[in-house]
Structure 1
Amino acid sequence: MNVEVPLSGGDVTEGVVRVGDTVRRPVGPHSPAVHGLLRHLERVGFEAPRLLGVDDRGREILSWVPGEAPGRPLPHYAVTEEALVGVARLLRGYHEAVSSYEAPEGAPWDTVASNLDGKPEIIGHCDVTPENVVFRGGRPVALIDFDLARPTTRLYDVVTALRHWAPIADPCDRDGPLYGVDVGRRLRVFCDSYGLDRGARRVLLVAARTRFERSYEAMRFRAEHVGGGWARIWHAGAGPRIRRAQDWLERNWDELDACLN
């Protein structure tokens, strides 16, 4: 008999369970697009969940990626500079892996979510939070949870990752080990490790400002019209956290900008 173990890492997708060496997840409107992306990542050898099919309850079957995805509060191994470097390189590796993917026209990506202006360059992960990075031996090795993947820019994915990993956040909303970190230095380390060019660095903070504003509106829309986990996150204070992060970014703009350029 297969024992189903509920997985609690995701904030939004409900009903995710582990069964042996597989993960079962409800199929949603964006699943066909995500499945095509996962098949591509398997073909090119990027470490991510492998699509194994659909079970008799209509749930997608994904391979279990061995390792640890950091929970809250963040463990020490997830907040070191070595981890920051590793996440940046992992994201760059993902972008290189996905750069050869041509998504089918009309693929049903999640288009409610925020984006930056400009022509999409890749299918971004768009949710590189600690909960979606798998570590082994203290080293980030894989990405999971591609529900928010969609056409976007490399810079959007970088900014989204930095929101959580630098972190670009008011100190009162950071995990304890990140409360007093030098965010400017961590921005620089991440960008150096990713290999972000000077042109992108010059507009990174502007992109972060835009992302915060659009993320606020997108999350409010999801809370009001989608409900479920999105509503729980919103009512738990997601909106005020975004506004505090925006204010902190503006207050520290010059110092952060000097670190990037």
Structure 2
Amino acid sequence: MIESSEPEIPLLGGDVTEGLVRVGETVRRPMGRNAAYVHALLEHLEAVGFDGAPRYLGVDAAGRETLTYVHGDVAVRPYPDWIADEARLASVGRLLRRYDDATVGFTPPPGVGYERPTHPAGLPPEPELETEVIGHVDITPENLVFRDGAAYALIDFDLLRPAARVDELYNAMLYWAPLNEPDDVDPGLRGLDAPRRCRILADAYGMTEADRLRLVEVAVLRTRRTWHLMRHRAEVDGGGWRRMWDEGVGEIITRREQWLERHGPAIEAALTAA
């Protein structure tokens, strides 16, 4: 059992998880649905030498998971000017590729598995994709730590799941291109060339030709499902999910799908141009 007499400093900036605190050189977090699976993956990442994630240290006296605190710069809203920097954007793609590669071969210990969240009736179909990695799939600016102007580490693995690489890249592009109506994104990410930024991420990651060709289709299908999933989590889980829904995230997702329908051809052209 991990104990400490040092003061607890609240960590702010996320949308859903509440009760995050820093204690000395550690972070204490409430346990999520797949806590054991997340802990096993973090231990796997440490074992294979991936340094771009916090280390899992155990459980403290309050029953919270305890992780190493990763020093660096994290963008919180309103985002700083550097959020639009293309060199930093490329570094996100490189870090994500290293992370995904490090998850290949991960086998959870006996008795530890991934528990899928409950899905509502009438959910639109998801893309037919093979599992390739254990995707982080929550690659928001708030979940990346930068050092010396480059992406250094991913944090907050609560939404991780078995995924395809194209899902991981769609998620990164969603937040970093970004793939949304300009009025629905932080001012620091408005007025940017989203197709160009998708290409920068794809090239930095080493995205395959097949994934470039199906990225837009995956984005549209995932967006349609997300509307239903967000409403369901607001109704079932409440908390931050309820707050986001009440603040209009459903309307934002609807506008995102319409934006993708209009700009999809330009995104695909940028991704596949010679």
Q: TM-score range by the shorter chain?
A: over 0.9
Query: Is the alpha carbon distance of 1:218 and 1:104 closer, same or farther for their aligned partners in structure 2, counting shifts above 3 Å?
Result: farther
Contact 2:16 2:240 in 1 (8 A): yes
Other-structure match for 1:60: 65
Matched letter for residue 100 of structure 1: G
2:252 aligned residue (230, 241, 254): 241
1:151 aligned residue (162, 166, 170): 162
- Please identify, of 70-79 and 17-26, the stretch whose mean Cα deviation from structure 2 is larger: 70-79
Runs of 4+ in structure 1 displaced over 6 angstroms?
none
1:194 aligned residue (192, 195, 205): 205
**1:50-199 alignment runs, 5 A limit:** 50-104=55-109, 107-112=112-117, 116-199=127-210
Provide the C-alpha distance between the structure 2 equivalents of 1:66 and 1:164, rounded to a whole number of angstroms.
Answer: 22
Provide the C-alpha distance between the structure 1 equivalents of 2:168 and 2:110, rounded to a whole number of angstroms.
Answer: 22
Other-structure match for 1:20: 24
Instruction: Report how far residue 108 of structure 1 moved.
Output: 4.3
Cα RMSD, aligned residues only: 1.6
Matched letter for residue 95 of structure 1: D
SS of equivalent residue, structure 1 residue 159:
helix
Other-structure match for 1:36: 40
Asked if 1:204 is matched to 2:215, the reply is yes
Instruction: Report how far residue 106 of structure 1 moved.
Output: 6.2
Query: Is the alpha carbon distance of 1:66 and 1:103 closer, same or farther for their aligned partners in structure 2, counting shifts above 3 Å?
Result: same
Query: Is the alpha carbon distance of 1:106 and 1:248 closer, same or farther for their aligned partners in structure 2, counting shifts above 3 Å?
Result: farther
Query: Is the alpha carbon distance of 1:53 and 1:9 closer, same or farther for their aligned partners in structure 2, counting shifts above 3 Å?
Result: same
Determine what percentage of the aligned residue pairs are the same residue: 47
Instruction: Report how far residue 253 of structure 1 moved.
Output: 2.1
- Please identify, of 109-118 and 154-163, the stretch whose mean Cα deviation from structure 2 is larger: 109-118
* Gaps in structure 2 of 5+ consecutive residues: 120-125
Instruction: Report how far residue 30 of structure 1 moved.
Output: 1.1
Query: Is the alpha carbon distance of 1:53 and 1:89 closer, same or farther for their aligned partners in structure 2, counting shifts above 3 Å?
Result: same
Contact 2:101 2:133 in 1 (8 A): no
Instruction: Report how far residue 128 of structure 1 moved.
Output: 0.7
Provide the C-alpha distance between the structure 2 equivalents of 1:106 and 1:60, rounded to a whole number of angstroms.
Answer: 19
- Please identify, of 235-244 and 161-170, the stretch whose mean Cα deviation from structure 2 is larger: 235-244
Provide the C-alpha distance between the structure 2 equivalents of 1:97 and 1:3, rounded to a whole number of angstroms.
Answer: 34
TM-score by length of 2: 0.91
Provide the C-alpha distance between the structure 2 equivalents of 1:110 and 1:137, rounded to a whole number of angstroms.
Answer: 37
How many equivalent residue pairs? 261
